[in-house]
Chain A
Amino acid sequence: MNTVTLTIDGKTITVPAGTTVLNAAKKLGIHIPIFCYHGELEPIGACRMCLVEIEKMPKLAISCATVASEGMVVYTRTEKVLKAQKGMLEFLLINHPLDCPVCDKGGECELQDNTFSFGPAASRFDDLKRRYVKRDLNEVIRLDMNRCIMCRRCVRTCADLHGEGVLGVVERGFRSEIDMFKGGETECTYCGDCIEACPVGALTSIPFRFKARVWELKKTDSVCAYCADGCRMTLETREQEILRVRDRLTPGEYLSTEHLCSKGHFGFDYVNKPERLRTPLLRKNGQLVPVSWEEAFEYAAKELKRIKEVQGGKSIGILASPRLGTEDLFLAKKLAGDILETPNLDHLLTPLGTFEDDSFQRLAAHPAKLEDIEVAQAIVVIGTDISQSNPLARLRIIRSSYRNIGKVITLYPHDMGLKGYVSHELKPRFGSEPSAVGFGLTRALTETAPVNAEIKSRLNNTLEQVSQETGIDAPFFLEAAKTLAGAERRVILFGREVLSHPQRNEYLKAIENLVTLLNSLENGITRVSWLPEYNNSRGAYDLGIKPGEKGLAFNGMMEAATRGELKALYVIGENPMVRGYCPEEIKASLGKLDFLMVQDLFLTETAQLAHLVLPATSFAEKDSTYVAGDGLAQKLTPAFSPKEDARADWYILAGLAQAMGTDWGLISPADIMTLAAKEIPGFQMIDNSKLGRDGLYLDYPTPEKLPTQWQEIHKYTPLVPLTDNRFDVIIENNLFHSGSLSRYATVLNKLSGAAYVQISRMDAKRLNLSEGQKVTLSTARGRFSLPLKIRKHQGAGTLIVPSNFTEVPIFNLFSKEETRHQVELIAG
Chain B
Amino acid sequence: MSTPTLEFKPETMIKFKELAAKYPSSRSALLPTLYLAQEEFGYLSDEAILYVADLLDLEPMEVNSTASYYVMFHRHPVGKCIIALCTNISCALEGAYSVLEHLKKILNVDAEETSADKLFTLKKEECLGACGSGPVMLINQYLFEYLTPEKTEKIIQALKSGKSLVEVHQEFQQTDGRSAQKIHQTGKEVLLKRMIGFPSSASFETYQQQGGYEAWKKALTSMKPEDVIEQVKQSGLRGRGGAGFPAGMKWSFVPKNIDKPRYLVCNADESEPGTFKDRQIMERDPHLLVEGICIACYAIESHQAFIYIRGEYPYSAVRMEKALEEARKTGMLGENIFGTGYELNITVHSGAGAYECGEESAQLDSLEGKRGEPRLRPPFPAVKGLYGCPTIINNVETLANVPAIITNGPQWYAAMGTEKNTGTRIYNVSGHVVSPGPYELPMGIPLRELIYDYCGGIRDGRKLKAVIPGGASTPVLTPDEIDVNMDFDSLAKAGTMLGSAAVIVMDDRTCIVQAALRIMEFYRDESCGKCTPCREGTYWMANILRRIENGQGKMEDLDLILDICDNIAGKSFCPFGDAEVGVPVSTIKKFREEYEYHIKNKKCRVSGELRLI
A and B physically associate = yes
**A interface residues with partner B (beta carbon < 8 Å):** 43-49, 51, 58-60, 65, 83-84, 87-88, 90-92, 94-95, 124-125, 127-128, 130, 149-150, 164-176, 179-181, 183-186, 419, 761, 764, 770-771, 789-792
A87 touches B571 (CB 8 A): yes
B544 touches A127 (CB 8 A): yes
Complex: A790 Cα to B3 Cα, angstroms: 7
- A175: nearest chain-B partner, CB-CB: B529
- A-chain residues with CB within 8 Å of residue B572 when the two chains form the complex: 48
Whether B380 is near chain A, meaning CB under 8 Å from some CB there, is no
User: Of B1, B2, B524, B573, which is within 8 A of A48 by CB?
Assistant: B573
B61 touches A173 (CB 8 A): no
Whether B536 is near chain A, meaning CB under 8 Å from some CB there, is yes
Nearest CB of A to B64, in Å: 5
B68 touches A91 (CB 8 A): no
Interface hits, B520-542 → A, CB 8 Å: 524-533, 535-540
> Which of B46-54, B133-141, B489-497, B505-513 forms part of the interface with chain A?
B46-54
A65 touches B50 (CB 8 A): no
A127 touches B540 (CB 8 A): yes
User: Of A125, A176, A181, which is within 8 A of B529 by CB?
Assistant: A176
- A-chain residues with CB within 8 Å of residue B560 when the two chains form the complex: 124
- B-chain residues with CB within 8 Å of residue A169 when the two chains form the complex: 65, 371, 529
A88 touches B533 (CB 8 A): yes
- A-chain residues with CB within 8 Å of residue B566 when the two chains form the complex: 83, 87
Nearest CB of A to B541, in Å: 10
Knowing A185-B2, A186-B59 touch, does A47 contact B571 (C-beta < 8 A)?
A: no
A176 touches B567 (CB 8 A): no
A150 touches B529 (CB 8 A): yes
- Majority-rule SS of B interface residues: helix
Nearest CB of B to A212, in Å: 31
**Considering residues A58, A91, A186, which has the most beta carbons from chain B within 10 angstroms of its beta carbon?**
A91
Complex: A208 Cα to B2 Cα, angstroms: 31
Nearest CB of B to A678, in Å: 52
Whether B38 is near chain A, meaning CB under 8 Å from some CB there, is no
- 7 A-B pairs with least C-beta separation: A87-B567, A165-B59, A168-B65, A91-B536, A176-B529, A183-B1, A174-B539
Knowing A168-B65, A770-B3 touch, does A128 contact B532 (C-beta < 8 A)?
A: no
Knowing A43-B376, A770-B3, A790-B3 touch, does A174 contact B536 (C-beta < 8 A)?
A: yes
- A165: nearest chain-B partner, CB-CB: B59
Complex: A168 Cα to B68 Cα, angstroms: 11
B49 touches A181 (CB 8 A): yes
Complex: A49 Cα to B536 Cα, angstroms: 14
B540 touches A125 (CB 8 A): yes
- B572: nearest chain-A partner, CB-CB: A48
Add 11 more A-B contacts to A65-B376, A127-B543 (CB < 8 A): A45-B573, A48-B531, A48-B571, A84-B567, A90-B567, A150-B532, A166-B59, A168-B61, A169-B371, A176-B535, A184-B2
**Considering residues A44, A124, A172, which has the most beta carbons from chain B within 10 angstroms of its beta carbon?**
A172
Whether B60 is near chain A, meaning CB under 8 Å from some CB there, is yes
- A-chain residues with CB within 8 Å of residue B527 when the two chains form the complex: 172-174
A170 touches B64 (CB 8 A): yes
Nearest CB of A to B505, in Å: 29
Complex: A477 Cα to B59 Cα, angstroms: 27
Whether B547 is near chain A, meaning CB under 8 Å from some CB there, is yes
User: Of B64, B69, B525, B531, which is within 8 A of A181 by CB?
Assistant: B64
A184 touches B50 (CB 8 A): yes
Can you give 10 contacting A-B residue pairs, CB < 8 Å?
Answer: A46-B573, A51-B571, A65-B376, A87-B571, A92-B536, A95-B536, A150-B535, A168-B61, A174-B524, A184-B61
Nearest CB of B to A647, in Å: 46
**Considering residues A43, A49, A183, which has the most beta carbons from chain B within 10 angstroms of its beta carbon?**
A183
Complex: A771 Cα to B3 Cα, angstroms: 7
Complex: A185 Cα to B538 Cα, angstroms: 38
- B578: nearest chain-A partner, CB-CB: A59
Whether B570 is near chain A, meaning CB under 8 Å from some CB there, is yes
- B65: nearest chain-A partner, CB-CB: A168
- A-chain residues with CB within 8 Å of residue B570 when the two chains form the complex: 58-60
A91 touches B533 (CB 8 A): yes
User: Of B50, B539, B543, which is within 8 A of A183 by CB?
Assistant: B50
- A-chain residues with CB within 8 Å of residue B189 when the two chains form the complex: none
- A-chain residues with CB within 8 Å of residue B321 when the two chains form the complex: none
A419 touches B532 (CB 8 A): no
Nearest CB of A to B538, in Å: 7
Complex: A77 Cα to B535 Cα, angstroms: 25
Whether B354 is near chain A, meaning CB under 8 Å from some CB there, is yes
Complex: A130 Cα to B540 Cα, angstroms: 10
Nearest CB of A to B162, in Å: 36
- A-chain residues with CB within 8 Å of residue B326 when the two chains form the complex: none
- B46: nearest chain-A partner, CB-CB: A183
- B557: nearest chain-A partner, CB-CB: A124
- A-chain residues with CB within 8 Å of residue B543 when the two chains form the complex: 127-128
A84 touches B571 (CB 8 A): yes
- B-chain residues with CB within 8 Å of residue A181 when the two chains form the complex: 46, 49, 59-61, 64
Nearest CB of A to B560, in Å: 6
A167 touches B1 (CB 8 A): no
**Considering residues B59, B60, B354, B537, which has the most beta carbons from chain A within 10 angstroms of its beta carbon?**
B59
Knowing A48-B572, A173-B524, A183-B1 touch, does A94 contact B536 (C-beta < 8 A)?
A: yes
Complex: A48 Cα to B376 Cα, angstroms: 12
Complex: A88 Cα to B531 Cα, angstroms: 10
Whether B62 is near chain A, meaning CB under 8 Å from some CB there, is yes
- A765: nearest chain-B partner, CB-CB: B3
Nearest CB of A to B200, in Å: 40
Complex: A180 Cα to B540 Cα, angstroms: 27
Whether B57 is near chain A, meaning CB under 8 Å from some CB there, is yes
- B356: nearest chain-A partner, CB-CB: A172
Knowing A168-B61, A168-B62, A790-B3 touch, does A173 contact B544 (C-beta < 8 A)?
A: no
Q: B431-449 interface mask toward A, CB cutoff 8 Å, 1 = contact, 0 = none?
A: 0000000000000000000
B61 touches A771 (CB 8 A): no
B2 touches A792 (CB 8 A): yes
Complex: A167 Cα to B59 Cα, angstroms: 10
- A770: nearest chain-B partner, CB-CB: B3
A173 touches B2 (CB 8 A): no
A149 touches B532 (CB 8 A): yes
A761 touches B64 (CB 8 A): no
- B-chain residues with CB within 8 Å of residue A761 when the two chains form the complex: 3
B526 touches A170 (CB 8 A): no
Nearest CB of B to A191, in Å: 14
- A-chain residues with CB within 8 Å of residue B50 when the two chains form the complex: 183-184
A179 touches B3 (CB 8 A): no
Complex: A173 Cα to B524 Cα, angstroms: 7
B540 touches A91 (CB 8 A): yes
Nearest CB of B to A769, in Å: 10
